[in-house]
Structure 1
């Protein structure tokens, strides 16, 4: 046996295969293919922000959401989030999740119907808290 570096994408593909086989064996539920979602917002050719997510089985997880500092407060983040929620509904997700830091957008997500279901203090660095939020669709 030996440990070898492997391209992240290739390694994740292999890991998903192993986990899917285990799910089918243990739960008798065939795994679904992961469906990616990515949307960018531009003002002419200037990148303003964007959102990425992944739908797997009955859940969609928002990986990243950001809007340029100078363009915050104009509703762009809400619009991006709404598009991701529409994607989640169209792909039959029962819920959508996201995580955020205490200095980022926790109250923004809560205003839009997300609820905190967990938190980790001093993560990813000392003095900050990571919050995990969910919204039932």
Structure 2
């Protein structure tokens, strides 16, 4: 099919977010867009446990409800070979070594979906044609 959509590399997403309304909104937007949310969690321990279920991408805030942070989640994801996109108000200094990029809060639903598509393209070695506002992608 010439004009068909390409197969996604990212299908299963783990959401690590301590703001309930943001987590709920992300979960529903991603589900409506055809992604499978493997879990929505708000602590480092729950995120590390959820990584065992397998995810193609982790969306992680930096500040989490257990006093831990998204950097701990990013280190665990990196050890498993699972890409992580920080979704946060302030991208951590050492994010480049741990994540594929950062999406700045606040972001729209459209920007979140476009950011995931951009990460999907980057992971496949494709050129990212148009990154949404607030998205910073890091070199592999």
Q: What's the TM-score once normalised by structure 2's chain length?
A: 0.33
Q: What's the TM-score once normalised by structure 1's chain length?
A: 0.33
Query: Whose strand fraction is larger, Structure 1's or Structure 2's?
Result: 1
Higher-Rg member (1/2): 1
